[in-house]
Structures are given as structure tokens and as C-alpha cells.
Amino acid sequence: MSKGTKVPGYMQGKGSRNPRGIIGDREIRYKCSLQNTILDVLRGRPGWQEVPGQNNIQPNVNQANPKQAGSGSTTQGTTSGYKGSFQSIPPITRNSDGDWDFYWCDREWLAQNYDTMFLYEHQKILHFRNHYELTRKNLMVKNLKRLKKQTERELGKAEGQSFEFFPTTYELPSEYHIFVEEFKKNPGIIWIMKPAARAQGRGIFLFRRLKDITDWKKGEYQPLSDPNREVPETYVVQRYIENPYLIGGRKFDVRVYVLVVSYNPLKVWLYRSGFARFSNTRFSLDSIEDTYVHLTNVAIQKNAPDYDPDKGCKWSTQQLRKYLSAKHGVEAVKKAFKGIDNIIIKSLQSVQKIIINDKHCFEMYGYDVLFDSDLKPWLIEINASPSLTASGKEDYDLKFGLLNDLLNVLDLENRLTGKEKRVGGWDLLWEDGPILADDGNMECAPNGTTASIPNSFLGCHNERKRQLRELYTAAQSIKKS
């Protein structure tokens, strides 16, 4: 698209908006590329109104009767978040070209339009321009390795050990020869091969013998006579975690939601709730070709022959934390979950100087973390578009609350003071440095704790609605005084 082409959000010269960037006394106009829980949340949010137009899903009932938008009624979901005092007002006249305040866009849209877009002060859009630095498997590891090396150089080897949370990984084909050397040093171990840019377990396989990979490499990377053949796909080959923590004999990984509202300074929120995804079949190293045993992706597991959609393969993170605490004690679990905080912060710092920081952008990442049998957490991957499609009622409630609270953190309604450390289920984990919990917020802390603890409550109680009510009442009185 050439510079100056008008795209949704491209407002240069139109001047239809308050130049100070305050939305003021009118409804908040949003666009959304997805047709799942996020759309329900947006439609159910008092005072928010959908903008019709290209790159947006079909207009809904709220367009036909704008007043409904303010009443919180929705055709698809129910508002489970705080219904504040925000007053819906009649919509202003607008062009239907996508004049928006908030855009939950897909990554492709952003890639195509970001460079030609002009955004007003207050506009918010999902994704940072080069989010793939963290979400492509090969780039994530490259960035982590670089920061690890730099840390070792500047602060010593011991500090570098805090990066030992990602399995040994090489990019293929570029690092094939280094991989072969490493392979020979560790005969008999299992490796996992993953396409760098695919998702949902597609194209993944495990292997033990070098022969498996040389055969595969021949098929995949040998030059063919066909000149139209596409460039070979980049893969990562990674050491397979052979001793995953098992519950009921099954392997699982944990989905953790992380919100970044700024990379400079780095400002990070961590959501209390998430889930563990179990494989459907008991774990064993005998059948490394069986994806139902080794890959915990829901997309894979739901095709397992004995998959029970009612039972699903999920536990809430609260359930998991409770189970682990009962088994290993609160301290051991605190240490394990602190390891997840470390993974989050180190991985974000590894791209902090690379990500194109833009105050209009935010990102909600889905981290996939696997515990080994010593309860050590390992980073498997980071998603910039974690699935927002619900697999059942409980999953819907989780995602609805998560997304509603994300909008509460972004606070386009301007209801907060800006000093909050907790908004609904989101806790502020980092703001240019670690955040400590306020006194009295000692959930998940061992009995008798008085010392400062990090403001991190993954898997702790999430009574978000009550917290929001108290928060907004307090913020209102602070603002009045």
C-alpha cells in the first residue's frame, strides 16, 4: 500500500477528533477482526460501539440500535465484568470508513497497514509491528541466546544461569552442522523438530537417530530440479524434555497470559488465571511417534480417538497450583511459579530493544510453559494470538474475564488513576523494574509472611468482579479529592 492511502485508522487531515486525544463524552468506537470471545466482550461493554466497514465482521444489532450498546446487552455473550457508571451517549455522525478508537486487528492487517497509518494520541491497536521477534520459534531463541551471552559478559556466568529455561535449540537449515556436533555429544537423547512459524502442533515430530533427520533433510532441503520450488521452511530442532511433570500419568503444559502495554519502559501485567492442557494418553518414551502422548495442543488432543469433549483436557491454573501445593508444599510451588515470572521478564527483555515500541500498541501473549519432574518451568513458546475461542463454559468465562479486564487495564474510559497494581485479574508484574505486592495482598504466600513479596499471583484466587468494584470506587474518590 502506498504512503498516504486511506486505511481505517488513517486520520491525517480529517481532524474530526479532539486533538488532545481524549475521547471525551462520547461512545468508544471499536473494530474487531475476530469472531469469538473478544467480539462478545466488545459488544457487551457499556458505551462501546462497533464501527462498520472493511476488515471488520458484519455489523451487529448494536449498530441498528446504538442505545443497546450502552445497556450492556449483547446477542452473543453476557457482560461479566464491572458495569461502571460510564454513560452511553448517542453516537456522533461519522464516516463508515473505519474511524475507530480501539482495534483488535489480526497480525496480517497490522503488517499490511502499520507503515502507512497515522494514529491519534488516544488510539489503541493490538500487536506491535515486529511481534514475530518473540513469537517465531527460531527468533525467540536467537534473542534469548543473545541476551544470555550479554548477561554472562557483563554480569558473569552465574547470572547467565537465570536464562536456563529454554531447551537447547538450533535453527535449521542454518545451524545444521552445530546441531550434528551437539547430537553426537549426547547419544540416545530425544529431539523435537518444529517448523519455526507454524502453530497448533502442525509439522512437529520427535526423533532419536541422526538417520531420521538426514533422511528428512534430504527430502526437505535438497535442491530439486523444479526452479519454482519455494524456499525451504525454517525449522527449529530442540532438546525434548524427557521428564515432564506428570499428573495421573499425563503430561501437560500451562498457558499463561501476559499483557505488555509498553516496551520502553517495559510495563508488564500477568493474569492470575489460565489453564493446564493435558495430553489424553499416558506419557511414555516408548512411542515417540505418538503425537497424542507428546504434544499437549488442544488442536491435536481433540482428535485423539478416546477424547471426551465434555471432560476436555484442561485444568484451571488455580486447580493446578492447589494440587501442586498440596503435594509439594507452598514454598516449592512459589519457587516454581517464580521461575515463570523470570521466564516472562527475561524473554521480554530479550526483545526490548528490538521491538518497535509504539504507545498505541499493546500485546497479549499466551506463554506455553512446561514443568519437568523437578517442578522446573521450561519455556516452550510464546504466542501473539493465543486462541480466544472457548472450548466450553468454564473456558468462555475465563477468556471473557481475561479480555474484559484487559480493556479495564487499557482504560480507554479513563476511570483509573494510573497507579493501580491490580486491575481485575491482572497484576502489574514489572514497570521498568519489579513490582512488590501491597501489604495485605498476600494470597498464595505462606502463613506468617510479612516480608515484601513480588506482585505476582499466577494461579491464586481471582475474585475479579469484587476487586473491580472496590478499585473503581477508590479511584473515583481519589479523582474527586
**Residue ranges binding ligand ADP (CB under 6 A):** 167, 192, 194, 198-202, 204, 238, 240-241, 253, 295-297, 368, 370, 380-381
Q: Mapping DSSP to helix (H, G, I), strand (E, B) and coil, where does residue 207 land?
A: strand
Distance CA 348, CA 379 (A): 12
On the CB side of 303, CA atoms within 13 Å amount to: 10
Q: Mapping DSSP to helix (H, G, I), strand (E, B) and coil, where does residue 219 land?
A: helix
Distance CA 172, CA 234 (A): 6
How many angstroms separate the Cα of 157 from the Cα of each of 143, 147, 152, 346, 469? 18, 12, 5, 16, 47
Nearer to ligand ADP, 205 or 360 (CB): 205
Nearer to ligand ADP, 10 or 240 (CB): 240
Contact (Cβ atoms closer than 8 angstroms) between residue 324 and residue 92: no
One DSSP character per residue, 115-184 reads GG----TT-EEES-TTTHHHHSHHHHHHHHHHHHHHHHHHH-HHHHGGGTTS--EEEETTTHHHHHHHHH
Distance CA 72, CA 45 (A): 6
Cell (9 digits) for 203: 509439522
Q: Which residue has the cell 496480517?
A: 108
Q: Is the backbone peptide bond immediately before 386 cis, with ω within 30 degrees of 0?
A: no
Residue 315 burial (CB count, 10 A): 19
Distance CA 28, CA 45 (A): 10
How many angstroms separate the Cα of 259 from the Cα of each of 60, 62, 205? 28, 28, 31
Distance CA 200, CA 187 (A): 29
Q: Which residue has the cell 516496551?
A: 263
